[in-house]
A and B are shown apart, each in its own frame.
Chain A
Amino acid sequence: MNELQPVHILIAEDTATDAEMTMRALKKVGLINNISWVKDGQEALDYVFCAGDYADRRRTDPTLILLDLKMPKVNGIEVLKQIKSNDATRVIPVIMLTSSAEEPDIIRCYELGVNSYIVKPVESDKFFEEVSKAGFYWAILNRIPCPR
């Protein structure tokens, strides 16, 4: 566990129910304190790069970003691309949490440097279990370099 850094998770998800369920799953493993939810790709980028509505946000990088693929305005692939092509944000772990099990999507995401790719299970038992596990692993077990 990374003692020095408070856990800070960003969820980019346009479907409110999926977002709520994701948050609930994360809460189950104690990741309750600092979760931010943005509803489209543009908002996600604004949040990460402290632009637009988030221009006044104190710049702290999220510990983990959960990214949906199909979102309004800017899709998940584009968000991923911008995060991973920027030296300042490259190290932030990004998990794709999406309905798409399409091979080309998976391949594209890994090409862009995604850390993990999870297909949302339809069954809620599995959904809660998998999101909880992934959240626990990436936000708590996994270590990333200290922020500058």
Chain B
Amino acid sequence: MTQEAVQAVKKESLIKLGLAFALLLLVAISYVTYRSTVQFAEGARLVDHTHLLIEQINRVFSDMQEAEASQRGYLITGDASFLEPYDSLASRLPDEITLLLELANDNPSQCQSIAELDDLIAKKMRILRLGIDTLKERGGVDKTEISGLVGGEGREMMAQIRSQVDRMVATEESLLAQRAERVETGTRLTKRWILIGNLVAVTLLLTVFGGVLREIRQHRKTNRELEMSAAQLELTNKELESFSYSVSHDLRSPLRAIDGYSRIFEEDFADRLDEEGLRLLAVIRTSSKKMGQLIDDLLSFSRMGRKPVDASMVDMDELVDDVWNEVSAGHADVRLKKSALPAIWGDRALLRQVLMNLLANAVKYSGNRSQPVVEISAEKGRHEIIYSVRDNGVGFDMRFYNKLFGVFQRLHTESEFPGTGVGLAIAQRVIVRHGGRIWAESELGEYAVFHFSLPIKNTKEAT
């Protein structure tokens, strides 16, 4: 039983552990998924950002090309309307560069490159401006001068800008590739994590579920077995009851004959018997009477076990008074000290029997004291009320306590105190059937006290 209990506890903690681990795993998977989603979003944002940057670099370069074309048109034709794009670009360029810088502000090396680009652009713009200013001053320029203004240093500058732009775009593109790869790796890893984690969690949950299912099945089986043995016990109990009933019942008839015929014999033949014959006859009659008493007690004990408990609220105060009147009749010297007794849920007739037996015992065993006192009191607990009956009589030897509530068990001889030894057995039976307990303590020659407890809320009765 204890081993089984230990095993059950072990199983339960295993199930708990499994569930806890599965839960932990699911939480971890959720975290990984969340983090990976955040990373993915961040990666996507960075890719977008890189694209924007590349676009902006290209725009700046195309602006430069347009500015150059605009200047050239003016130089060749001398028509000031060609300068319109140049002017607008010249005013726009610083903003474009600022935008570029803003886009690249998370990358110091790219910022460095932008600064270099800005330098080159500034130089190129100065060269372009120089060409325009020269034409404006002179009002016209010849072909060779134009080719000098257009080519030379200006051309060289443009080539440098182009290579700078190409370098920057290449850098961004490689960055883009790196980022894409990182996102890819992260996603792959996350996928694996989620897959493995989920697999483990599902396996764990299935195992735990299986364990729980087995537990439930085992539990059901145990319950069934318990029910069966309970039913069996009840049957055995019933058989025993009816056996003891019929035995005691059938014994009465021959016993009645023994007693009756002894009496008839005494009546009809007394004059022909001597003293010894009469004594022997008297012994037969006393013994048969004694046996009759035993059978009656056995019968009432058996009846206590079979009679269904008919429960209602019982006024113990009133019941004790009632019983005391009956019990103390002929024992005027016995004093009853009674404290307030709370009412209790139970079978009035059965509880009356219990009080009857306990109070009769108290009176009987304290009868030879000079000042016999019987005390009855009650103590209300949370779930039960404990009633106590105490007397200052001869008490009993605690060494024989385990015999106290047995059927036909006596701790005193018949000549000391009459009785068959069934009273306490009946009391115990009634109390147990009410779901209570009965116990006693005593000091030999000083006192005896019997306690019985009854549950406070006990509307359902086992019969």
Contacts and interface: CB of A to CB of B under 8 A. Distances in A.
B289 to A, nearest CB: 6
A125 B252 contact: no
Given A99-B249, A122-B252, A17 B296 contact: no
A101 B295 CA distance: 13
Contacts of A21: 256-257, 260-261, 264
A-B pairs with the 8 shortest C-beta distances? A122-B292, A17-B257, A124-B260, A124-B259, A124-B263, A21-B260, A99-B252, A122-B256
Contact of A18 (B257, B262, B264, B292): B257
A125 B263 contact: yes
Interface of A: 15, 17-18, 21, 24, 99-101, 120-125, 127-128
Contacts of A100: 249
B255 interface: yes
Contacts of B256: 17-18, 21, 120-122, 124, 127
A142 B459 CA distance: 48
B253 interface: yes
29 contacts: A15-B257, A17-B254, A17-B256, A17-B260, A21-B257, A21-B260, A21-B261, A21-B264, A99-B249, A99-B252, A99-B253, A120-B252, A120-B256, A121-B256, A122-B255, A122-B256, A122-B289, A122-B292, A122-B295, A122-B296, A123-B259, A123-B292, A124-B259, A124-B260, A124-B263, A124-B285, A127-B260, A128-B260, A128-B263
Contacts of A120: 252, 256
A128 B296 CA distance: 19
B249 A122 contact: no
Nearest to A24: B264
Interface in B263-317: 263-264, 285, 288-289, 292, 295-296, 299
Contacts of A15: 253, 257
Contacts of B285: 124
B253 A18 contact: yes
A39 B177 CA distance: 119
A6 to B, nearest CB: 26
A123 B257 contact: no
A18 B264 CA distance: 13
Contacts of A99: 249, 252-253
Interface string B203-215: 0000000000000
B309 to A, nearest CB: 15
Contacts of B252: 99, 120, 122
Nearest to B251: A122
Nearest to B250: A99
Contacts of B260: 17, 21, 124, 127-128
Nearest to A121: B256
Contact of A17 (B249, B261, B292): B261
A15 B260 CA distance: 13
A20 B257 CA distance: 9
A120 B255 CA distance: 12
A24 B254 CA distance: 17
B265 to A, nearest CB: 11
Nearest to A103: B307
Nearest to B253: A15
A18 B249 CA distance: 14
B412 to A, nearest CB: 24
A17 B253 contact: yes
Contacts of A121: 256
Contacts of A125: 263
Contacts of B249: 99-100
Nearest to A122: B292
B293 to A, nearest CB: 8
Contacts of B255: 122
